[in-house]
A = this chain, B = another copy of it.
Amino acid sequence: MTNEVHTTALPVQPSRGALRPIGMADAVIADGFWAQLQSLNASAMIRHCEDWMERLGWIGNFDAAVEGRLPEARRGREFSDSDVFKLMEAMAWEIGRTGDEDLDARFEALVDRILPVQEEDGYLNTRFGRPGQQPRYSNFEWGHELYCFGHLFQAAVARARTTGHDRFVAMACRAADHVCDTFGEGGLQAVGGHAEIEPALVELGRLTGEQRYLDQARLFVHRRGHGLLEDIEFGRAYYQDDEPIHESTVLRGHAVRATYLAAGAVDVAIESGDDLLLGAVQQQMATTLARRTYITGGMGAHHEGESFGSDFELPSDRAYAETCAGIGSIMANYRLLLATGDVRYADVIERTLFNVLATSPGEDGRSFFYANTLHQREPGVVPEPDAVSPRAAASMRAPWFAVSCCPTNVARTVASLSSYFAASTVDALHIYQYATGSVRAELDAGPVAVDVETDYPDGGEVAFTVTETLDTPWTLAMRVPAWAEGATLTVAGAAERVNPGLATVTESFEVGDTVVLSLPMRTRMTLPDVRMDALRGQVAFERGPLVLCVESVDVPSIDVVDQLRVAGGIRDEGATQVTVGMRTIALPDRAWPFESGNAASASADTVDVPLRPYHQWGNRGSSTMRVWIPLDADVATEAP
């Protein structure tokens, strides 16, 4: 391995594919929206996760294991080890990003506590295998042992790629060897109830060059779908064990499990040359985006089973849209982007970053949404600051959850975020997400680099200045989002229209050359598909990549947002000054709500109601909120 850790400091490093990823040393976010979130992660979120897991004893489980106090002293759910590993992955990326020495010391202190828990044969889990505990591998449906290993491996990959191979990485490799010994061709024919080890083993294989890790990941991906897991009330689709992934046509079941599996399947397809598998995942994702994804990019329409619903079943008020499923979607779509070069995957990533990932953490960095509803019907209950909340019952952001997968998942994703922003080909630098900073890539002919300056997403101007170039022509490629009809690109002072997709400039650039992409940042009104019953007669508003919403705290004249009806035009006087003309309806009070007439009457006046970015909602106390707002068309007037 190399000590030049920074150029390989990236979460996904495929051995082939349309695009080459760019590590965090070469993709730097310096200012603006995402820089602020990375700062919040550094100053609050990571520490918050660490403090809570100390306080609740989830980290202490490792001490208890060493001191022989298990199972009595064990705290947290069966998968709590995984959240410690996800915290460590977040720390490792953050150490790589900033070189934070205090954080590095805290990371090492965690390693001190975890290392002695690993058993002789590489097994590591605080929940299974000791006297008084369930035996190892006695419950693949719910035991989450393989899932925990997966997060250990991803933490190790982050550590190795930012700091170097160390005792923690060696521990992960011993664990991976154990997994391969146990679950290889002649071993236990099993898969875990929650996919995660699949992409993790591939990445550890990519890191170490160990073919057996890649092989084991392939085995796990191929084994699933053949009913190895028990049938449960949710059905085997819950853990994607209902049909082989090669034969599936759409994501289904538990949305985090489904998206993690899709990510791992792309990894396996790439490393095993299985283009049929890659094509299957592409098709599954295409259908999922066309029919089973919220306007926010959120995935998962059911609270029950935390699962995808049927096609077009996307209720706002019961939107589960788990933060972790959004992250899983980013993971899968990023791998598809690298594999295929299809820029539409970067559109999905942007939508999900701004409207799911950025929505979860509160402005304080110490509270999180687990589920991301699109409609808060009743004012949310603000959780106690010191209480553990049920996972999705919290209608406001909560500091911690009994199942607290989301905060650590946000932390690790935000810390490694810049890697998702750009990529390269043999002769082109592709920039997909826009933030002030810099991007550098090694093309076949040598390194190129640009500085980026923008106040995106408030404004739509993105300026690229070449800071490193070649003697020969090379291509600067910039994503024009699908929503950006009318975008222009200005090269050498000349502006021209560019279509959604990739806008490219191929030049023998000089240092100092500037290209400006102008994306039209006007607020748009968006309609749902005609099959979306939950959204019929309603519209949403979007501005650039941001989904907007109306929050009752902004409309003093109403009790709840459900009284509002869109009746007038959009006024857009800047990012934080968008209003839409709406009427207020009087809410009927009837003993039985289904009648031949419709008693609601709308106000004569139209008032300009402010809209806000959805990701900001819920930061100003208890409120009601809508993304989709009914049109002012009284249904009674339309009846035949």
Contact = CB atoms under 8 A, between A and B. Distances in A.
Interface of A: 232-235, 286, 289-291, 295, 302-304, 309-313, 315-318, 344, 375, 377-378, 390-391, 393, 402, 482, 524-534, 536-540, 562, 566-569, 581, 585, 587-598, 600, 628, 630-636, 638-640
B233 A530 contact: no
Contact of A375 (B303, B533, B562): B533
Contacts of A232: 390
A347 B527 CA distance: 39
A312 B528 CA distance: 21
B310 A591 contact: no
A318 B317 contact: no
Contacts of A524: 596
Given A531-B562, A533-B534, A639 B631 contact: yes
B591 A289 contact: yes
Given A529-B594, A537-B635, A539-B639, 20 more contacts: A233-B390, A295-B594, A309-B317, A311-B377, A312-B377, A317-B533, A375-B533, A526-B594, A527-B594, A527-B595, A527-B635, A527-B636, A527-B639, A528-B635, A530-B598, A533-B534, A536-B635, A631-B638, A631-B639, A632-B640
Contacts of A317: 309-310, 313, 533
Given A235-B393, A640-B631, A529 B313 contact: no
Contacts of A631: 635, 638-640
Copies in the complex: 2
B315 A315 contact: yes
Contacts of A569: 640
A290 B638 contact: no
A482 B289 contact: no
Contacts of A537: 536-537, 635, 638
Given A527-B639, A596-B524, A631-B638, A590 B290 contact: yes
B630 A536 contact: yes
A313 to B, nearest CB: 6
A529 B593 contact: yes
Nearest to A393: B235
Contacts of A318: 302, 309, 313, 315, 318
B633 A633 contact: yes
A531 B482 CA distance: 33
Contacts of A312: 377, 562, 593
Contact of A538 (B533, B540, B581, B634): B533
A391 B234 CA distance: 10
A632 B530 CA distance: 11
Nearest to A589: B290
A595 B420 CA distance: 26
Contacts of A636: 527
Given A310-B377, A526-B594, A636-B527, A538 B536 contact: yes
Nearest to A532: B593
